[in-house]
Structure 1
Amino acid sequence: MPSSRPFRSTTAAATAAAAALALLISGCSSGTSSPGDAGSPGRSTEAGADRPAAAVAPLQPLPTAIPANLRPYYDQKLSWHDCGVAGFQCATMKAPLDYAKPDPATDLKLAVARKGATGPGQRLGSLLVNPGGPGGSAIDYLQQYAPQPAAVRARYDMVAMDPRGVARSDPIECLTDRQMDRFTQTDTTPDDPAEINTLVAAYRDFAKGCEARSGKLLPHVSTIEAARDMDVLRAILGDKKLTYVGASYGTFLGATYAGLFPTRSGRLVLDGAMDPMLDSRAINVDQTAGFNTAFTAFATDCVKKKDCPLGTQNAQDAGRRLSALFKKLDSHPVETGQERKLTESLATTGVIAAMYDQGAWPMLREAIAQAQSGSGRELLALSDSYYERDASGHYANQMFANPAVNCLDLPGAFTGPNQVEAALPAFRKASPVFGDNFAWSALNCAYWPVKASGTVHRIEAKGADPIVVVGTTRDPATPYTWAKGLAAQLSSATLLTYVGDGHTAYGRGSDCIDTAINTYLLEGTPPAKGKRCT
């Protein structure tokens, strides 16, 4: 059961699913049309109504002068050592827990890794990467998956920092592995008051666990604070301006940096963009529609194959068959060869995990067929990849950091079950297959122990160098309308469009996208206005 949907990068989610395969292995219309080229950017559904951009307050830049009480952080020297991964060095950076009241006694220790420019060619500086989440480990991403090609790696020192509360950087902890197993199996499509109460209790217990284990950190893992950490790192690395590639939620982090520090923003690539003008409910409804679009693409491809486990008629019929499978699993979970059975909630998460990249579609077809035949092993493997649960049963901390950041950055989508029930028609319209699951999953922040410190805003970043925003027309997790919305807000942005499926576009097989971004990173020249790639 997702604690809230992570805006996970392709490499953080689909690559994990591909690894699982090798072992076998964060309202748009719901038809076959794509919502990608429709809609008006910059809308917010806060208070139940669309609002023009002018009605949403902009994120204000911070003063360019570094305050005296923060100078020790900006002036610190990192002690680099071998990471144990070929060619990488690691270090620990200090950052104040609270930028408003810095106190060395409460400093955070943030993990940083780098790999020096390989040459040939003149070094251009440091290139910081972040895979999204929120809660994804940037260091793991850099060391294992970062897509930057040889030409970029030759000219830049590749750098990653796990954000505060994530992985190696004072990670947020909430539940034990056994507790997390039970949490992920909680029914997120409750059918009666008793099941609603069970779901609410699960959210309350999750929140209480986070407060008990990480209470001091919870108020200080916002995206704004993480962006300020990036500015400290920029200065320590000796770069006058930040060069950055962020995927998925990493686009929100990068755009926030540009809004806070426009004159220190250099070449920024924001791939799979989020729109900061959307409130939590709008985000959840849009993402529900995005996954419906991705499922429609999968189902349209599946029904053309003789062995499609969802029939050979059309995508709508395939959706009904998948919903029937979920309903069957709700009352009769199937064996997996493990202690855990495949429940409806785990099966739904497994299907969602495969929606991040079309490369996982063959695996998903086989997993659904096996589940229909009484074996949940492969759908469970997909679900485990999404939750970052390893073979020993240990969970990475992404599912703890994810709600901690999301529930702090914006007020929750709902305040209680009654509001969810009232919103179900909108979610079901966005996706007949996934609507209920996404609606009830969005209830988690209602019980969060820390009040949200962030609000809906727009980001202009006036004075920033040219920024490249990348959007994929059938992106499930960060719908294309979000990329259009962010690009319209940023004063120096260019929108680069990938016409296709999957989450994010850079380094995923499009020479057109890769060439445009590599040229920008190496030469500073953004792609032509309106450029579209396939």
Structure 2
Amino acid sequence: MLDSDPTSRSRPLTQRSGLRLLASASAFALLLAGCASPTPTANRGEQMVDPEPLTSQAPAGFESYYGQTIDWSECEAGQVTPALMAAPEDLDYYQCGTLDAPMNWDDPDSEPIELAVARYLGAPEDGERPPLFYNLGGPGGGAVESLSAVVANIVTDQVAQAYNIVALDPRGVGASSPIWCMTDEERDADNARDVDVADMSLDERVAWNDAEIATIGNQCLERNGEILGFVDSDSAARDFDMTRAVLGAETMDYLGFSYGTLLGAIYADLFPDHVGRFVLDGVLDPAMNLNEVSAAQIAGMEASLYNWIETCVTGKNCPLGSTLEEGKETMVKFFEDVAASPLPTADPQRPLTEGLASTAVIGTLYSTDSYQLLTQAMAQALEGDGSMLLFLADYFNDRGEDGVFMSNQSDAFLAVNMLDYEPVGTPEQWEAEAQQIAAANPILGADYGFASAGISQWPVESRAPRRSIQAQDAPEMLLIGTTHDPATPFVMAENLHKEIPNTTLLTVEGWNHTAYSASASSCVIGAVDRFLLNGELPKDGTVCD
């Protein structure tokens, strides 16, 4: 029988308060995509002359920020290259720099923070090209370190040559005044530790969440100071506008994935006159509260897990069984067994816990290209060896083989979401939601339903929580929704399409998280590239495979 008891399995502390790492556009897709290299033009960084900053567009008091210039220099390979990927052969086309932003966009006299920015110069000799900003998702995903992968695997060669591709790490993320809440040792322990909530009463479970959030929140505040209260998405969107003006662009062209769509929607609401060609792929609905997002996402993940199981059992040598129901039973028992007794791995000091196993499974569900990898890892795990699942969990947690975490994505994810969301509902409602979610999603849903628990204990208050976006004065934008997107379900794209009048919705049939890349179908590439290059939108309601 499939267990539907919401407290039957433990919840890893990395997933405290229901905030899951599900809203990130998976960097794993960058490794799975074809590594085509764009053909660079003859123009080099030293030939690039930026337009004058648009200082006159600054909000009152912030003229010095809008009027600054960036001291560009050639990037080092590690600055613009994700882990496990080869650096670009020619770095002449990659420039890195920094710029200042006010910590508080409501106070021109607040302390400045430093933002990291990089760009790929796609402009040919015969003319200047506009910047194309992007964000792959998160919150917590760095943009600068992904730049060469975006150039090689995400945007097409035509787009890479028509624009200067600009990466801006949002505040608190990557190299932009990063938020760090845990040491590597603390993060390792947090990722691996499982807490059994099965015997907790409702009051005890709420108290546990409150204590956990208060503890990590106070630790974050102590280690980061005042900036912890200013890493919200609203402030990040304002940083994007400042950077646009610094680069001398009258409007901002933008390619946003997953959480990056939320940043784009907020920007369009704040700065409709500065919106250029916006593509929002894998829409994260800004109007949904945290409880609604959590429930929608786990339903998407559960459905994707079933799709992987079906793919496995209809193939050869599936370790899960021969039918979908057998595969479901196998996965339920696997998680129960790992919770009771973590699996040994190649590292005697690091057994595979349930929390690490969940991270590995959920991470590979972002792309159907990784299904076979998950099948291999599960085959090994069902034989008693958790090594491959541990490797995958480490990858998704951004942990290097030496135990050093290569980014602050987990800390930034928590810090940004705690400012972006407000608690909704009562403990009794959370408990009822947990029971409903667990019944509907019996494999992955047992730990959901308490998404709002503990948020009130975060030591700094939300300044600009997520809200419904209309952006009524913005020009037409292109939204992309994938019908079975595991992390940002299709209903979110439908919702934003209704909320923002000037949007065109492109529907993509499939099971991947987000749709556009250099290896996508010709239908998707054609729709996006025609818009970015020519301003030509597809017919609203167009469906691509």
Residue number among 236, 243, 246 corresponding to 1:236 in the alignment: 246
Unaligned runs of 5+ in 1: 20-63
1:131 match:
136
Structure 2 CA distance, aligned partners of 1:388 and 1:365? 21
2:336 match:
327
- Residues 415 and 446, structure 1, Cα contact 8 Å, conserved in 2: no
- Residues 211 and 454, structure 2, Cα contact 8 Å, conserved in 1: no
- Residues 466 and 493, structure 1, Cα contact 8 Å, conserved in 2: yes
Q: Please, which moves more after superposition, 160-169 or 95-104? A: 95-104
Structure 2 CA distance, aligned partners of 1:368 and 1:336? 13
For 1:77-476, list aligned pairs within 5 A: 77-85=69-77, 86=91, 87-103=93-109, 106-119=111-124, 122-146=127-151, 147-187=154-194, 190-193=197-200, 196=205, 201-314=211-324, 316-338=325-347, 339-395=349-405, 396-412=407-423, 420-439=430-449, 443=453, 445-476=455-486
- Residues 435 and 449, structure 2, Cα contact 8 Å, conserved in 1: no
For 1:478-489, list aligned pairs within 5 A: 478-489=488-499
Per-residue deviation, 1:7 = 4.4
- Residues 301 and 486, structure 2, Cα contact 8 Å, conserved in 1: yes
Alignment coverage as a number of residue pairs? 487
2:85 match:
none
Structure 1 CA distance, aligned partners of 2:123 and 2:313? 47
Change (3 A) 1:290 1:143: same
- Residues 285 and 426, structure 1, Cα contact 8 Å, conserved in 2: no
- Residues 472 and 504, structure 1, Cα contact 8 Å, conserved in 2: yes
Q: Please, which moves more after superposition, 301-310 or 513-522? A: 301-310
Structure 1 CA distance, aligned partners of 2:213 and 2:162? 47
1:34 match:
none
Change (3 A) 1:415 1:236: farther
Per-residue deviation, 1:189 = 5.8
- Residues 469 and 493, structure 1, Cα contact 8 Å, conserved in 2: yes
What per-residue deviation string (whole Å, max 9, x for no partner) do you get for residues 157-199 of structure 1? Answer: 1101100000100000101111111111232662223995776
2:66 match:
74
Per-residue deviation, 1:501 = 1.0
Aligned CA-pair RMSD: 2.3
What per-residue deviation string (whole Å, max 9, x for no partner) do you get for residues 472-526 of structure 1? Answer: 1110110000011111111211001110011000015222101110010000111
- Residues 471 and 483, structure 1, Cα contact 8 Å, conserved in 2: yes
Structure 2 CA distance, aligned partners of 1:442 and 1:345? 20
Matched position secondary structure for 2:363: helix
Amino acid at match of 1:173: W
Structure 2 CA distance, aligned partners of 1:296 and 1:186? 27
What per-residue deviation string (whole Å, max 9, x for no partner) do you get for residues 259-286 of structure 1? Answer: 0000110000101001111111000000
Amino acid at match of 1:532: V
- Residues 460 and 490, structure 1, Cα contact 8 Å, conserved in 2: yes
- Residues 26 and 366, structure 2, Cα contact 8 Å, conserved in 1: no
- Residues 136 and 166, structure 1, Cα contact 8 Å, conserved in 2: yes
Change (3 A) 1:108 1:190: same
Matched position secondary structure for 1:117: coil
Per-residue deviation, 1:144 = 2.3
Q: Please, which moves more after superposition, 70-79 or 451-460? A: 451-460
2:528 match:
517
Matched position secondary structure for 2:510: strand
- Residues 189 and 436, structure 1, Cα contact 8 Å, conserved in 2: no
Per-residue deviation, 1:129 = 0.9
Unaligned runs of 5+ in 2: 1-13, 35-55, 78-90
Per-residue deviation, 1:319 = 1.9
Amino acid at match of 1:98: N
Q: Please, which moves more after superposition, 263-272 or 292-301? A: 292-301
Structure 2 CA distance, aligned partners of 1:239 and 1:430? 48
Structure 1 CA distance, aligned partners of 2:33 and 2:360? 13
What per-residue deviation string (whole Å, max 9, x for no partner) do you get for residues 142-167 of structure 1? Answer: 22234111111111111011000001
Structure 1 CA distance, aligned partners of 2:240 and 2:220? 25
Structure 1 CA distance, aligned partners of 2:335 and 2:466? 35
Matched position secondary structure for 1:312: coil
Structure 2 CA distance, aligned partners of 1:101 and 1:278? 29
- Residues 78 and 93, structure 1, Cα contact 8 Å, conserved in 2: yes
Structure 2 CA distance, aligned partners of 1:15 and 1:336? 27
Change (3 A) 1:337 1:199: farther
Matched position secondary structure for 1:500: coil
- Identity %, equivalent residues: 36
Per-residue deviation, 1:211 = 1.6
Amino acid at match of 1:68: A
- Give me the TM-score of the superposition, normalised by structure 2: 0.85
Structure 1 CA distance, aligned partners of 2:454 and 2:362? 19
Amino acid at match of 1:515: G
Q: Please, which moves more after superposition, 386-395 or 522-531? A: 386-395
Matched position secondary structure for 1:485: helix
Per-residue deviation, 1:119 = 3.0
Amino acid at match of 2:408: N
Per-residue deviation, 1:130 = 0.7
1:12 match:
27
Amino acid at match of 2:402: S
- Residues 275 and 475, structure 2, Cα contact 8 Å, conserved in 1: yes
Per-residue deviation, 1:17 = 8.1
Amino acid at match of 1:109: E
1:2 match:
15
Change (3 A) 1:309 1:120: farther
Matched position secondary structure for 2:141: coil
What per-residue deviation string (whole Å, max 9, x for no partner) do you get for residues 256-313 of structure 1? Answer: 0000000110000101001111111000000010101111211111111232122111
Per-residue deviation, 1:202 = 4.4
- Residues 123 and 129, structure 2, Cα contact 8 Å, conserved in 1: no
Structure 2 CA distance, aligned partners of 1:125 and 1:522? 11
Change (3 A) 1:160 1:204: same
- Residues 470 and 495, structure 1, Cα contact 8 Å, conserved in 2: yes
- Give me the TM-score of the superposition, normalised by structure 1: 0.86
Q: Please, which moves more after superposition, 299-308 or 465-474? A: 299-308
Matched position secondary structure for 2:250: coil
Structure 2 CA distance, aligned partners of 1:406 and 1:268? 23
Structure 2 CA distance, aligned partners of 1:207 and 1:457? 23
Change (3 A) 1:319 1:80: same
Structure 2 CA distance, aligned partners of 1:214 and 1:376? 35
